[in-house]
Homo-oligomer: A and B are copies of this chain.
Amino acid sequence: MLAEIKGLNEECGIFGIWGHEDAARLTYYGLHSLQHRGQEGAGIVVAHNGSLSVHKGMGLVTDVFQSGTLDALRGSAAIGHVRYSTAGGGGYENVQPLLFRSQTGAMALAHNGNLTNAIELKLALEGQGSIFQTTSDTEVFAHLIRRSQAPTFVEQMKEALSQIEGAFAFLLLTEKALYAALDPHGFRPLSLGRLGSAYVVASETCAFDVIGATYEREVAPGELLIISREGVRSERFAPEQPRSICSMEYIYFARPDSHVDGINVHTARKNLGKRLALEAPAEADIVTGVPDSSISVAIGYAEASGIPYELGLIKNRYVGRTFIQPSQALREQGVKMKLSPVRGVVAGKRVVMVDDSIVRGTTSRRIVSMLREAGAVEVHVRISAPPITHPCFYGIDTSSKEELIAANRTVEEIRRLIGADSLAFISQEGMLEAIGRPDISPQRGQCLACFTGQYPTRLGQAARPCLTMK
């Protein structure tokens, strides 16, 4: 099994707007709808009267911004970022957007993704005397822009974009324009929308719905959008490649009301559930899903199987970092951290428990055991992803998932480990058909690397063990 080397920008949410006098406030609502993509930190940069201002902090969007701080962020263009909670590193310094000032103008950067050659680039830059204040690969990208000798800023950006590898969706704001760029494989979602005469760009379309904007189109892989007073201009920094959008965005990461690359996530999940019911039926009394990502799947499974959907598991809505965790002693006495079984629903029942994936298996084992303690007589586990056998280097945090349970075990072995009465994963074909991409074609492809080990890009030092970014 490969070692895991992770950057810090994985699984984030980005939002940008150009040409609206309430830019900061709309960015706040946009980020709020993207909160599921990152709870550790949030920030907004606005452009106003030829200069950039920033406010950011640790915590949820609603923790970081108060009415006063938001009002102070005047300007008609803004970018914002919500950041995923990573175990190590972190801290304020890594909260985005990053703001870089210079005598020739300032620029702000917000990034979702993971550069696979960040360490190589950073070592080279440091050899040339560059200094770094964050451990984020976003800063590497900024250095590349500033080091470029190309004649125009757009050319400098394109030169920098052509040097970086891996998964990236970038928003860059200057006093003059908002730039949006997506890596040549399009691993991460990035959509363009309109709100009256203003343009918006966001990681997910739910951010458009919440502010009343309309969806225009996807930012294309290898595309650089330049949004300014002259409108939207499209440039390419790389030739068109088969899109490799992350399968996990559909399976568990995106919000169910978003459309990722044009496909509604809830519908995709319901179809995954229907397909699972066909591929792996079960004799059971109720179907229940692990919230939140598997509720839609469970409803689909119930619909196709005729077994009633019931609320057998409930998620405690912990509100971020202020929740006081139960002690080990209390946990052993039965205090639930995140999920509670609903005793009155599952007691005496044969239960189909639908979940999105099995990584290390510990969570699945805990849920199965929890259902049994609450009286379930049988527990049949159905998983809406194929077995995950390889780590992700494109921004899905499997860094805490050191031992992928499916890497070298059979389904039967896993079933025994998690203590289920039966276990089934959806097939790869089943997943692709359910999501709506029966043929993986250059124009409409999905990244399957974590299921197959076939990585769409060179991995560089990212794949070498024991090398972490400092």
Contact = CB atoms under 8 A, between A and B. Distances in A.
A49 interface: no
Contacts of A33: 316, 340
A253 interface: no
A209 B340 CA distance: 6
How many copies of this chain? 4
A376 to B, nearest CB: 14
Interface in A177-199: 195-196
Central interface residue in A65, A196, A264, by most chain B CB within 10 Å: A264
A296 B324 contact: no
A470 B336 contact: no
A342 B103 contact: no
A86 to B, nearest CB: 16
Interface residues of A, number: 95
Interface in A289-324: 296, 299, 302-303, 308-311, 314, 316-320, 322-324
Contacts of A28: 324
Interface in A333-363: 333-336, 340-345
A206 B316 CA distance: 10
Nearest to A30: B335
A367 to B, nearest CB: 14
Interface string A38-75: 00000000000000001000001011011100100000
A131 B122 contact: no
A210 interface: yes
Contacts of A326: 25, 29
A65 B319 CA distance: 12
Contacts of A409: none
Given A62-B323, A324-B65, A195 B334 contact: yes
Given A54-B93, A255-B314, 19 more contacts: A33-B316, A60-B319, A62-B324, A100-B131, A100-B133, A101-B133, A102-B126, A102-B132, A129-B130, A195-B334, A206-B314, A206-B342, A209-B341, A209-B342, A215-B343, A264-B311, A264-B342, A264-B344, A296-B311
Interface of A: 22, 25-26, 28-29, 32-33, 35, 54, 60, 62-63, 65-67, 70, 91-93, 98-104, 106, 119, 122-123, 126, 128-135, 142-143, 146-147, 195-196, 205-206, 209-215, 255-257, 259, 264, 266-267, 270, 296, 299, 302-303, 308-311, 314, 316-320, 322-324, 326-327, 329-330, 333-336, 340-345, 374, 470
